[in-house]
Amino acid sequence: MKVVMINDCAHVGETMIRYFPNDVDVVHLRRSRGFLDKTARITWKILKAKADIYHCHYLLQDCWLALKFRKHPIIGHAHGSDVRQSIKHFTWGRIVRHNLEKCDKIVVSTPNLLKTAKQYNDSAEYIPNLVNERVFYPRAQERAKNKMRVLIAGASDWDVKGTDKIIRALKRIEKNVNVSIIEYGVDIDKTLKLAKTLDLHVNALPPVPHADMPEYYWSADTVIASIGIGGTLGMAALEAIACGRPVITRVSSDFSEYKVFPLLDISTPEEIADAILSSRDENLWKKEHEYFRSYHNSKKVTKRFMKIYHDLIRGKKSD
C-alpha cells in the first residue's frame, strides 16, 4: 500500500507514519508557511503524487488542491481551527465546506469538531490524536519540596487557550509556585505584560524543536495546557501526560468521550489555582495516564486508520 500524506498538524501525521506497518510506503508532502512553499511548490507536489490513498491534514488549500486534481480515495483530517473557525470565514469557509463534502472520508481529531463535520459528510468520525511514545515517555523526577515547578505549555492565546486566566490563577497561588512559559503564541507579549502588571514572576523559555519538548515537560512538576474554548485534550496536554506529568487543562463534560477523564470543566482562575495545588497528589497523573493509555494509545489509533485505508481502497476497486 502506498500512502501520500499531505501537510501535517501538531506532528500527528509524522507520528502516525512511525507506527505504520512495514509494508506501508509513505510519501509525506510537507510544506512551510512560506508563500512559494504553500502555493506553487505544494501544488506541483500534489499534482505529481500517485498513491493508493491520500491523507490530507487540515481542510484548507492543500485538501482543495488534492480534490481539484482528483486524488482519490482521500481522507480529510480536521484538526481544530479549520472546522471551528475557518469554516465561518467569508473566503476560507467555502473551501472548508467544499472539502468536507467532497472527501471520501472525514476524520476529526477532537470531539468538538464532529457535529459540524457531520453536517457536511456522514462519514465523519472522531479518532483521538496519538503521541510518539518513543520520544514522549515518563521519566521519574523528585518533585520540588518547596515551590511547585509549573510549566505553561500551550501557545499563548487569550481567546482560544485562555492564557490570561492561567496567569491570573497563578497569581492567586504565587507563594506556592515557580512559573515558566514557553515563549510563543499570538498573545505571548500580552501574557508577559499581564504577568509583569500583576507582579508575577514568569520565566520565559525559548521555543525548541518538537523532539526536544520532553525536556521541558520533565523539568516541571505540573503542566498547564489550554483552558480555552475547545474543552478538548490538545497535543500539549497529551504529550505532558505521556511524559509522566499531571496536566491541568479544560476538558468539557459535554462530550461523552471525556466522561471518564479525571479532571473536568476547569475554567475559572479559582478552579485552575485549586487544581494546580491538588496536582501534588500523584493519583491525578495516574488516572490521566490510564485514560491516555486507553484512548490515545498510538498502536490502537494507527490500527483504526489502517482499517479506514483498507476499506477505502476496497471501495475504490469495487466501483
Residue 138 in domain: no
Residues 22 and 123 in one domain: yes
- Please count the residues of the chain: 319
* 119: containing domain: 2-130+297-318
> Which residue shows C-alpha cell 524543536?
209
Residue 160 in domain: yes
Residues 117 and 15 in one domain: yes
289 pLDDT above the threshold of 70: yes
Q: At what angle do helices 92-102 and 61-68 cross, to 10 degrees?
A: 50
Residues 119 and 183 in one domain: no
| Alpha-carbon gap, residue 271 to 79, rounded angstroms | 27
Residues 94 and 162 in one domain: no
Closest to 172 in 3D by CA, of 268, 264, 284: 268
Kindly report the pTM of this predicted structure. 0.92
| pLDDT average, residue stretch 100-127 | 96
| Alpha-carbon gap, residue 159 to 26, rounded angstroms | 37
Residues 125 and 162 in one domain: no
Residue 85 in domain: yes
Residues 73 and 159 in one domain: no
| Alpha-carbon gap, residue 141 to 243, rounded angstroms | 11
Residues 106 and 173 in one domain: no
Residues 160 and 283 in one domain: yes
List pLDDT tens digits, range 224-245: 999 988 899 999 999 999 999 9
317 pLDDT above the threshold of 70: no
Residues 120 and 212 in one domain: no
Closest to 174 in 3D by CA, of 141, 210, 198, 139: 198
Residue 319: which pLDDT band, with cuts at 50, 70 and 90?
Answer: low
List pLDDT tens digits, range 21-70: 999 999 999 988 777 778 899 999 999 999 999 999 999 999 999 999 99
Residue 106 in domain: yes
Residues 124 and 46 in one domain: yes
Q: What cell numbers appear for 73 in the block?
A: 480515495
Residues 162 and 289 in one domain: yes
Whether the Cβ atoms of residue 124 and residue 118 lie closer than 8 Å to each other? yes
Residues 159 and 285 in one domain: yes
Q: How many domains does the chain have?
A: 2
Residue 216 phi/psi, 5° resolution?
A: -70, -45
Whether the Cβ atoms of residue 130 and residue 100 lie closer than 8 Å to each other? no
Residue 75 in domain: yes
Q: What is the CATH number of the domain that holds 281?
A: 3.40.50.2000
| Alpha-carbon gap, residue 138 to 245, rounded angstroms | 8
Residue 58 in domain: yes
